[in-house]
């Protein structure tokens, strides 16, 4: 049912509509000296979405995330995170976001439990620290000093510190670096659980598999701007996902992109098959997300 509330102007309703977005970025720019790290980046993240920002090293992912977290100044562009500009945000806003930075903070003298508890105290309505420690798989290490943790355990502690405040919006900057495959799987389960409880998540990764497993939407960044965006299934230009039929005829390799591979194979069977009825070296391949991604990021970087 649509109702009109007296006194609400169209402009006011439009402003309400934009708050459905947890993150709204338009024309973001950031330069370090001569290096244009972020170069006109646009990004929308709806509330409750998991968006993976995927891109090679140096693409500008961390710089973008740090600007959204309010830890780095931008040169230009409009940025709204949970309805506020992070450059001017206050403590109340900060308590609504969770941050897992690319590099661990160092407070090696504390134990895992002490570190999680002391971080929890910064937030108005934190989760139970012991439950968070268990959720990231560190229950057995709760009394261990942070200094003695392995790289993967250290990373899981970072995640615990990022989620203990029960943030509405969680930033995960390459969170699974140093995880073994099993830790990675269980971390993915944890992230899905957070999403199911309503947390919006911006994840950066250069791991396609991770993006494909976790993200509702993938945004590919190269040279500081978005070069493609879509669900893991539809990413890239439509033709990038079109099957390729390849075969050998007259000693020459042939291939053809076609949306109708069955019809092509039937035609080849009638025209290019050998005496035994077989088409030599016949293959039908639908490009994977990885193929599409590599094509997207493989173009020569322009030097600046
Ligand atoms: N503090 C900094 N000072 C100078 N250059 C930087 C700094 N941080 C990042 N850069 C450069 O900006 C570009 C983008 O880096 P970054 O945002 O870390 O990308 P990503 O996270 O995608 O690897 C890279 O070329 C990097 O070397
Ligand atoms: Mg980075």
- With 80 as the cut, is the pLDDT of residue 148 above it? yes
Closest ligand 1 atom, CA of 173? 21
Q: What percent of the chain has pLDDT over 70?
A: 90
In contact, 86 and 79? CB cutoff 8 Å: yes
pLDDT at 169: 97
d(CA 45, CA 53): 11
For residue 10, the SS3 value is: helix
Q: Which residues line ligand 1 (CB under 6 A)?
A: 32, 35, 37, 55, 57-63
pLDDT digits (tens, 9 = 90+) for 218-232: 999 999 999 999 888
Given a cut of 90, whether residue 152 has pLDDT beyond it is no
Distance 132 CA to ligand 2 centre (A): 25
Residue 170's nearest CA partner among 84, 98, 68 is 98
CA atoms within 13 A on the CB side of 88: 6
231 backbone dihedrals φ, ψ, rounded to 5°: -70, 160
Helix (H) or strand (E) holding 31: strand 21-32
Is residue 4's pLDDT more than 70? no
Task: Say yes or no to pLDDT of 25 above 90.
Answer: yes
Q: Are strands 97-100 and 225-230 parallel, antiparallel or unpaired?
A: unpaired
> 37, 100, 222: which to mutate for ligand 1, most atoms within 8 A of CB?
37
Q: How far is the CA of 66 from the centre of ligand 1 (A)?
A: 11
Looking at the predicted structure, is the pLDDT value of residue 3 above 50?
no
Q: How far is the CA of 63 from the centre of ligand 1 (A)?
A: 6
Check residue 211 and report its DSSP letter. H
Q: Which of 29, 56, 63, 203 to mutate to test the pocket of ligand 1 (most atoms within 8 A of CB)?
A: 63
Q: What is the mean pLDDT of residues 262-268?
A: 94
Q: For the chain, give the mean pLDDT.
A: 88
Nearest alpha carbon to residue 188 among 216, 210, 204: 210
pLDDT confidence of residue 19? 61
- Separation between Cα atoms, residue 274 and residue 69, nearest integer Å: 63
Distance CA 176, CA 156 (A): 8
171: nearest Cα among 40, 71, 83: 71
Rounded CA separation 303/273 (Å) = 49
Among all bound ligands, the one having the nearest atom to the CA of 38 is 1
The mean pLDDT value for 210-217 works out to 91
Span 126-140, average pLDDT: 94
């Amino acid at each position: 049912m649509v109702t009109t509330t007296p006194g609400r102007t169209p402009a006011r309703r439009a402003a309400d509509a934009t708050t459905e977005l947890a993150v709204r970025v338009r024309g973001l720019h950031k330069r370090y000296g001569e290096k244009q790290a972020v170069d006109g980046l646009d990004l929308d993240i709806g509330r409750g979405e998991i968006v993976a920002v995927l891109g090679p090293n140096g693409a500008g992912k961390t710089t973008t995330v740090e600007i959204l977290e309010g830890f780095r100044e931008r040169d230009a562009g409009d940025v709204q995170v949970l309805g506020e500009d992070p450059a001017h945000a206050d403590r109340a806003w900060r308590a609504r976001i969770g941050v897992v930075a690319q590099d661990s903070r160092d407070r090696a003298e504390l134990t895992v439990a002490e570190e999680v508890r002391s971080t929890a105290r910064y937030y108005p309505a934190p989760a139970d620290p012991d439950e968070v420690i268990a959720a990231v798989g560190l229950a057995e290490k709760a009394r261990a000093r942070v200094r003695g943790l392995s790289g993967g355990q250290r990373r899981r502690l970072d995640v615990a510190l990022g989620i203990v405040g029960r943030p509405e919006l969680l930033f995960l900057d390459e969170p699974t670096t140093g995880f073994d495959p099993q830790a990675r799987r269980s971390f993915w389960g944890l992230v899905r659980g957070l999403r199911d409880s309503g947390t919006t998540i911006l994840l950066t990764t250069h791991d396609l598999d991770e993006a494909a497993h976790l993200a509702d939407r993938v945004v590919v960044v190269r040279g500081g701007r978005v070069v493609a965006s879509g669900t893991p299934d539809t990413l890239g230009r439509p033709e990038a996902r079109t099957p390729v039929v390849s075969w050998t005829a007259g000693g020459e390799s042939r291939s053809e992109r076609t949306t109708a591979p069955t019809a092509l194979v039937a035609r080849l069977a009638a025209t290019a098959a050998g005496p035994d009825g077989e088409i030599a070296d016949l293959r039908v391949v639908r490009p994977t997300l990885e193929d599409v991604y590599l094509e997207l990021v493989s173009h020569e970087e322009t030097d600046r």
